[in-house]
Amino acid sequence: MSTFDPDALECLAAIVEEGGFERAAQRLSITQSAVSQRLRALESQVGTVLIVRSRPLRPTAAGQLLLKHTKMLRLLRADLERDLQELAPSSLGGAREEERISIAINADSIATWALQALTELAQQGLPMEIITDDQDFTHEWLRQGQVLGCVTTLKQALRGCKVVALGAMEYVAVAAPALAQERLGGLGGAGGSTDAAAGLLTAHNFRDVPFVAFNRKDDMQSEFVSKAFGLKRVMLNQLFMPSSEGQVRAVLAGWGVAVVPRLLTQGLLEQGLLVNIAPAITLPIQLYWHCWNLQSEVLDALTAALKRVAAASLVTQTL
């Protein structure tokens, strides 16, 4: 089997991760011509094209395999770095840019519990890159070999990967009190308590308010309404805010209603700054951690940290 030049592999990864030859050259501190030369040499060695020169650039199937191989090498280096630091803590400097450990985590987990799990590892100097996406799509980053682990809603493990159940994140429907009063027929009480005349989301009025969704991939809003009212197909008037915290701020500003994690809104509900407009309905979304099935201290540390904080933050469900 051919031995590939580590510099050429990192060059390929830089082109994909940075989205172009110029930015890859800047990251690697070499000329753009050198980037092209390294890529051509690697393609000649493999015998096929590794990058599709489209907008945006994307790796071919062979390029994805080499990208995954490169990230495995990074993981091995990160494991070695941890071991050497234990033996000679003062002998090593900071990790290089190309040694980043990439994982994909859904935005709602980042906004609520996941950063707490990763803080100690970051403080220890683990060079992490967190990629955010909708929880139904983070799995694709792992499948393509662009990350070594992901938090996702999908249960089925990919070949060569292991999966750990983390628990369920509970979602609730919230609105600003003024909007609930004006658009939904009444004013809900703080913390989700309501009287019979309060403004609640119903099967008759959910079309009268805009829903603030994360992005066009986000089906949380329609899934919640479908469950709440037993509807098979739901069409919503939606606005898009690609940030979990931004969704909450938009709701506070009166943009519309949103279905968001209870963890993110509980304090605001208790203060009366938001109201629960469907207090009888909670949508639990089960989350899983997937990672490469390799012997690695870094992977073990990531898995243990995520499991520990998830156990304290998420709801345990019978699967």
CATH of 101-319, one of 1.10.287.110, 3.30.70.100, 3.40.50.261, 3.40.190.290: 3.40.190.290
pLDDT at 228 over 70: yes
Tokens, residue 261: 């994690």
Residue 196 has pLDDT above 70, yes or no: no
| CA 107/CA 137 separation, integer angstroms | 11
Residue in 317, 310, 318 with CA at minimum distance from that of residue 105: 310
Mean pLDDT, rounded, for 277-281: 94
Task: Please state the domain extents for the chain.
Answer: 1-99, 101-319
| pLDDT tens-digit readout, 103-142 | 999 999 999 999 999 999 999 888 888 999 888 888 888 8
User: Higher model confidence: residue 85 or residue 289?
Assistant: 289
Characterize the bridge pairing of strands 258-261 and 211-213. Answer: unpaired
CATH number assigned to the domain with residue range 1-99, chosen from the 4 options 1.10.10.10, 3.90.1170.50, 3.10.450.50, 3.40.50.2300: 1.10.10.10
Residue 50 CB partners (closer than 8 Å, separation 6+): 12, 39, 42, 43, 59, 60, 62, 63, 66
pLDDT digits (tens, 9 = 90+) for 135-177: 888 888 888 878 889 999 999 888 888 999 999 999 999 999 9
Residue 192 has pLDDT above 60, yes or no: no
Which residues share a beta bridge with 286? Answer: 168
pLDDT tens profile 48-61: 889 888 878 888 98
pTM: 0.74
